[in-house]
Structure formats: C-alpha cells, structure tokens
Amino acid sequence: MRRTLLLAVLVLAGCNGSSHSTFTNPVLNRDFPDPFVLKVGDTYYAYATNGNGKQVQTATSKDLVHWRLGPDALPQVGPWSFPGNTWAPEAAARNDDAYVLYYTASSGTQCIGRAVAKRPLGPFVDTSKEPLVCQKALGGSIDPDPYGGYLYWKNDGNSIGMRTQIWAQKLSPNGMTLVGTPHAIERNDTVWEANVVEGPEMWRHDWRYYLFYSGGHFNDDSYAVGYATCNGPLGPCRDAPENPILQTTCRAHGPGHNSLVDVGGQTWIVYHAWLPHQAGNKRVLWIDKLDWKGGKPAVHGPTCTAQSTP
C-alpha cells in the first residue's frame, strides 16, 4: 500500500510540474535575434527580428522553457518602409483590448513604426504613411522599447560614424504617437560599450528605474549587457560601475539585446547569444535568473548547465 501511495505521489508531482524540474540553455535553438517577451494571461509571447521567412518571428510558451513557433506577426510592413529589414520588435497591450507592435524597418534609413492587432500574435497592421520615430540626421532610429507609457529607442549613430544614444519620450494613451520632447538618457562613453549602446529595456523595481542595454560589437564576443540607474522614466541615468553584468562565457557568445520577465516575483532575463562556431548566422534564445541584491541586478548567467525551471 505504501509503495502504491508513494508511486502515486511521484506521478502526480511529475504531472503537475515538480519544483525540481530543470532546463538547459538555449531554450530555443533557432535563429531568434533581439528577443522580447510579453506575458498575456498564462502565455508568454516572444517576438524577434526578421528571419526564417518572417518579418517578425514569434513563439509562445507556458513556462519560458518550451516554445512553439508562431506565425509572422507583421506580414506586411507599413507603407513608409520596405520589407526585409524588420528588427527588434516589441509589443504592448492597450486598455482597449488591442496590442501595439513597435518595430524597426527601412525606407533607406532605419526608422521605428507601430502597428495594431486584436491578438498578441497579430497579424499587426501599420497604416501610417510616416514612421513614429526617424532621426535621420542622427543615423536613424532603431530598437523600440515601450514601457510604462513611454517609448525608449536608440539613434543609429554608429551606422554613420556618430555617437549613439538611448532616448526616451512619453507615448500618447493609445500608444500611436509621441508626446512632448525626447530625452537622451544614455550614450556610449565607456570602453566596454565600444561604438554602440542599443537594445534598451527599461524596468522598475522597488520604485526605482533601471535601464538595461547592450554594448560592444553584436557579432563577436565583446557584445554584452549593462545597466544604468535612472531618476525617473525620462532619466537622468547613471551607468553602473560593475558593467557589464552579462557577457560571453561557456557556450554563450556575445549575449545581448535582453528583455525582462517577472515570474511569481522572480525576475528572469531573456536574451540572445551565438553558439560556438555560429557567429554571424545564428543567435539563439537563452533565459537566466536575475536577482536584486542591495538595489543592484545580478544575473546568474549565462548558464550552460541544468538550472531549475521558472
């Protein structure tokens, strides 16, 4: 009888997802660059730069570990741009049960557009004749990040030999236009950042604002993630002296362009990294724990061994 009961308990624990279940990075071994994750209900929706025949790649998961590939979220880019260079998409939910997708595309200069859909996987539609942000004199605008009613992005200065900065500006209530004045809140001014700061991800923890961003060269081992502490959503921001906090190790080469997800009070960082001998053609999806110690984020990763699932 005892053996039967014990077996039943073990089977039940396995069915319900044991706290001892593990995963090993990468969690999606497929080219999936510049990932962003949005949680809606009990589902995680991931969006990525164009590839594998899609303008905006998507995938869905219930646990951040097991992913199912989804449709092209943006089958057709806005009339102001042309297809084939759709980068770093991020999505946000609106109060009217619709979703806005912010994405980078090109009409000769990389600019940021917005598209709307009724479902997280789209299809998103952009009917705008002009992009939302396009700083042509500063090299263009890329890597949009909507957070807390504000939009963050990078001017693509390195494409024309200029300094790069991360910008912030308030969004209208429907997320379709920008309000007020843009603020430059971060710039490449330290050695590890080299000629770029990009991939902004604003996050609020314990009433403080943290700007996560990537620096270095995206296609080699120098690419890494750092952060800055900010006085508010529009800055000013100060680089952390311990930067970078996520960098090349084990099989994760050039980890970067992260997003953050809260899972039951535990922060997880989602990012891409090259696998060995694949630099230049395959950035795969990784996840790791991020803890807060003394008001500072500390990443447990990149990890290449088995870790407890979220």
Can you give the residue ranges of every domain in the chain? 28-244
pLDDT of residue 249: 95
Rounded average pLDDT per 10-residue block, the chain, 310 residues = 41 44 97 98 98 97 98 97 95 96 96 98 98 98 98 97 97 98 97 97 97 96 97 98 97 97 97 84 95 96 96
Q: Is the dihedral of CA 246, 23, 90, 251 positive or negative?
A: positive
pLDDT tens, residue by residue, 91-116: 999 999 999 999 999 989 999 999 99
pLDDT of residue 13: 40
pLDDT of residue 279: 64
Cβ contacts of residue 53 below 8 Å, gap of 6+?
Answer: 72
pLDDT of residue 278: 74
pLDDT of residue 14: 41
Cβ contacts of residue 187 below 8 Å, gap of 6+?
Answer: 163, 164, 165, 166, 197
Pairing between strand 141-147 and 150-155? Answer: antiparallel
- Which neighbouring-strand residues pair with 202? 211
pLDDT of residue 276: 86
Question: By three-state DSSP, how is residue 307 classified?
Answer: strand
Pairing between strand 43-48 and 36-40? Answer: antiparallel
Contact of 133 with 109, CB cutoff 8 Å = no
**Cβ neighbourhood burial of 14 (10 Å; 0-12, 13-18, 19+):** exposed
The CA R_g of the chain, rounded to the nearest whole Å, is 20
CATH class of 28-244: mainly beta
Contact of 167 with 155, CB cutoff 8 Å = yes
Angstrom distance (rounded) from CA 106 to CA 151: 19
